[in-house]
Amino acid sequence: MSQSYLDAVAHSSRPAMPLSGRAEQALPFTVRVVSGRSALMKAVQIRQAAYGRHLPEFAQTLGAPEALDLRPGVAVLLAESKLDGAALGTMRIQTNRFQPLALEQSITLPASLAGRPLAEAARLGVTEQRVGRMVKTVLFKAFFQYCQQAGIEWMVIAGRAPIDRQYERLLFDDVYPDAGYIPLRHAGNLPHRVMSFEVDSAERRWAAAGHPLYDFIFRTVHPDILLDAAGDAPGRLALPAAGNYVNSMRMDKLAA
């Protein structure tokens, strides 16, 4: 996600449909939480294809749903084309409501984050098509909105170089500024930079920074981000009320 792309999105044409001071913008794709095995497999396939372009050996391990995909407190997002239903992108969100974040296998979080409501985004992958850049931006917005609705205080990510620079531009900060890149067990022991983003102060900080995506995130309504349309998805939060997860029987049925 280059700075030139951020600028292009920020200044792209928007429908003039004010909703309480905000515009509504339709997208050529939808983003929702997967709610069945077929949707989960589409997410797995786009995930593996995306990783295969940069980490082919690691991608070979991603051909099936991972155990974490099906656990309580986890939601897998899927972006699908409106034209033909093709998978365009995916992201996995794990909250720490039921268990520590996956990255905590490799790093002890500082006191400022320990015991707080957290959500980790991982397994981000998008299509090679040109629309993939927009999909990546919308997946970030969906992650942010998911955290808002679920009462999450801090978004946490682990980014390998050069992807970590994208999160810098989104105003994520290093959890341990002097730690550099840390090998992560759940990411094939590849070195990643662990970064965090405070949810409640995001709008104020982005406004103060004059961020090029401020209007896109905070002043534009995207009806095609459907976070509450998945019903009883595997391990997902029942939005907007946080805390109701599907039971283990439903997850077992999905995994079968």
- Whether residue 99 is predicted with pLDDT greater than 60 in this model: the reply is yes
- Whether residue 256 is predicted with pLDDT greater than 80 in this model: the reply is no
- Whether residue 144 is predicted with pLDDT greater than 90 in this model: the reply is yes
Averaged pLDDT, 8-18? 41
pLDDT-derived band of residue 21, with 50, 70 and 90 as boundaries?
A: low
Torsional class of 210: left (φ above 0), alpha (ψ -120 to 50), beta (otherwise) = left
Give the pTM. Answer: 0.82
- Check residue 3 and give its pLDDT: 40
pLDDT-derived band of residue 2, with 50, 70 and 90 as boundaries?
A: very low
Closest alpha carbon to 205 in 193, 195, 217 = 217
CB 105 within 8 A of CB 186: yes
Take residue 85 and report the two structure tokens written for it: 């239903």
pLDDT-derived band of residue 228, with 50, 70 and 90 as boundaries?
A: confident
CB 144 within 8 A of CB 198: no
CB 160 within 8 A of CB 190: yes
Closest alpha carbon to 176 in 111, 254, 249 = 111
Q: Where are the domains of the chain?
A: 3-229
CB 196 within 8 A of CB 163: no
Least confident of 9-13, 68-72, 243-247: 243-247
Averaged pLDDT, 219-227? 96
Average pLDDT in the chain: 83
- Check residue 19 and give its pLDDT: 46
Domain 3-229 is found in CATH 3.40.630.30: yes
For the stretch 158-191, pLDDT in tens is: 988 888 999 999 999 999 988 888 888 877 788 8
- Whether residue 251 is predicted with pLDDT greater than 70 in this model: the reply is no
